[in-house]
Amino acid sequence: MFNKAGAENLPDYELLQVMLFTSNPHADVESLVGELLDRFGSLAEVMSAETDALATAGLSLPAIAGVKFVREVALRFMRAELHARPVVGSWDKLIEYCNAQIAYSSVEQFHILFLDRKNALIKDERQQRGTVNHTPVYTREVIKRALELGASALILVHNHPSGDPSPSAADITVTQDIIKAAASLQILVHDHLIIGRGGHVSLRDRGLILSEVKDAGSSTSASSPHTALNERTSID
């Protein structure tokens, strides 16, 4: 099961073997690992799977707890790096973190990275958890939380469970609504990242986030208390 290579050089199969053997040394680890990888596809997807899905796949509660523990430790190490330096200058680290956090989620999740004046991470919070292709986003709640945390800037992040990170018209509308509301309070929205399996899209790179927003002082759609992210109509 073990070899002399560093853990970073072990294939998914061997890493998963080590993880499960540690939590339950008496289980038939080899056959269980094969079943998990056949069902979920990769170590990353096993680590991101819901508790119920892991239980259905045959994992015991101690094994599930072990998987969740390892994932949380890894995320905390990655998050610590973003706390220690400007996020906008550590873009590769940010993308790695976002991929680890939500790329393999089976439902849409909308996260906000709240940044201080030096663009270091104050906090990463999941604001909403939706369905396979839809997440309600409440602009007022985004701004309210930014003010509570004293954030000077935001990075919006959500995933597309289909794996295709192409932005939809709704994704763009949500982003523009938040930019307008934030700009009126001198809070900058650096980007909106859409995370898919094996890829991501930056709305800033697509030219969909402007440095200056016209009519920044105007309110967002007063007739609609929220907008929604979804995958239904992608914008190429």
Q: How far is 224 from 45, CA to CA, in rounded Å?
A: 36
Report DSSP state, residue 188.
E
Which 8-state DSSP code applies to residue 105? -
Q: How far apart are CA 142 and CA 156, in angstroms?
A: 10
Band (134; pLDDT cuts 50, 70, 90)? low
- pTM here is 0.76
- Give 53-71 pLDDT, tens digit per residue: 889 988 888 888 888 888 8
pLDDT at site 26: 61
Q: How far separated are the first and last CA of the chain, in Å rounded? A: 46
Q: Who wins on pLDDT, 95 or 218? A: 95
Distances (CA, A) of 111 to 1, 123, 135, 206: 37, 10, 11, 20
Which tokens belong to 128? 């909403």
